[in-house]
Amino acid sequence: MLHTGGTLGMAGGRPSALRPAPFARTLRERVPELAELADIRLEVFSNVDSSEIQPESWVRLAQVLARRLPAVDGAVVTHGTDTLPYTASALSFLLPGLDRPVVLTGSQRPLKEVRTDARLNLIDAVTSALRGPPEATVCFDSKLYRGNRTLKAAIADYDAFESPNFPLLGTLGVTTSFAKGLPPRRLRLVDRLDPRVFLLKVFPGLDPALPLALLGQMRGLVVEAYGAGNVPVDETGGRSLRPVFREARRRGVAVVVVSQAPRNAVDLSLYEGGSAALSEGAIGGGDMTSVAALTKLMHVLGVHRSMPAVRRAMERVVAGERS
């Protein structure tokens, strides 16, 4: 079990702010049942709010997991909920071919509180690390999700996550049930990321001068477009995004288009706006979440240099992140 921080291990609360707190003693005192499930080796990787987790943290976490996994049956990573889907997605790309479970979990209330969801989430996560599919997953509110298909959907509900385009990998109720998930392969560590990626949400009134000014600072751009991948391209109103795609192509910036709609997939050939993006070299993100597209693009750009190689890698399914 690798503890990174987050609400699960925090202390305080209203009227004071939640803050990171010592974790090992709290875990032993509050969830002694874990010792009945498994021989758990706890390692404190970090103890921070998940808003402080950065791409460099993902790389170090993947490196620790790659060293530790051969000696254990599975791993649980405790993590704050705000950036948990980003870490789960990143680990799926940094550790392709997992041959045993890596389960991320957290909580909406600290473990020390009476009405906490942390106890059950930890018990379910350890169970999933022993019996679940060999991939990076998220265990929360008695559900097991594919990590790179997950989004945080609620701030104040225990049922905090959803997987819009992929079914559950497991349910943990009175009985437990797990899907096979990805086929186990040989565990590898591909610990390279390039964080020079930007996420652009298209909205009515977006001035293209803003993303144009930023293109020189990035190697990759994820565009959250309307619907099936549509963007404004009418040149008469001064709000066309065609110059952004054109300039990105000229500069060698990889552009991936996903949808603002959480369900279904983009089809850049369906509307004029998407077709224009496609003609300028944009890559369709299929049914990937923006989180998965962002983390995958960071990883792909860390590994590949040429645009054809980047395109092939983004369109290839690496860890079940797209249909």
Lowest mean pLDDT among 3-17, 133-147, 231-245: 3-17
User: Do 231 and 277 touch, CB atoms closer than 8 A?
Assistant: yes
Task: Read off the pLDDT of residues 190-210 as tens digits, 9 standing for 90 and up.
Answer: 999 999 999 999 999 999 999
- Pairwise CA distance, residues 74 & 278, whole Å: 41
Average pLDDT over residues 151-158: 96
30-74 pLDDT per residue, tens: 899 999 999 999 999 998 999 999 999 999 999 999 999 999 999
Q: 20-24, 129-133, 169-173: which range is least confident on average? A: 20-24
Percent of the chain at pLDDT exceeding 90 = 87
Name the 3-class secondary structure at 262: coil
* Domain boundary assignment for the chain: 2-178, 197-315
What are the distances in angstroms from CA 69 to CA 128, 191, 247?
A: 15, 15, 44
**Looking at residue 21, what is its pLDDT?**
57
Domains 2-178 and 197-315 share a fold: yes
Pairing of strands 220-225, 197-201: parallel
Segment 86-112, tens digit of pLDDT:
999 999 999 999 999 999 999 999 888
Cα→Cα distances 263→93, 150, 228, Å: 22, 12, 10
The candidate with the shortest Cα–Cα distance to 280, out of 314, 304, 251, is: 251
Tokens of 32: 């002694």
pLDDT at 305: 93
User: DSSP of 108-167, one letter per residue?
Assistant: SS-TTSTT-SHHHHHHHHHHHHHHS-SSEEEEETTEEEEGGG-EE--SS-S--EE-TTS-
Q: How confident is the model at residue 28 (pLDDT cuts 50, 70, 90)?
A: confident
**Mean pLDDT along residues 126-130:** 98
pLDDT at 285: 98
Please give the pLDDT value at position 208.
Answer: 97
Under CATH, to which class is 197-315 assigned?
alpha beta
The answer on pLDDT for 13 being more than 70 is no
pLDDT digits (tens, 9 = 90+) for 265-317: 999 999 999 999 999 999 999 999 999 999 999 999 999 999 999 999 999 99
Beta bridge partners of 43: 2
Query: What beta strand segments (E) does the chain contain?
Result: 2-5, 10-11, 19-20, 43-48, 75-78, 102-105, 136-140, 143-146, 151-152, 161-162, 170-172, 176-178, 197-201, 220-225, 254-259, 283-284
CB atoms within 10 A of CB 166: 17
Q: Whole-angstrom Cα distance, residue 224 to residue 53?
A: 23
**Residues with catalytic annotation?**
7
Superfamily of domain 2-178, CATH level 4: L-asparaginase, N-terminal domain (3.40.50.1170)
pTM of the model: 0.94
In this prediction, residue 16 carries a pLDDT of 54
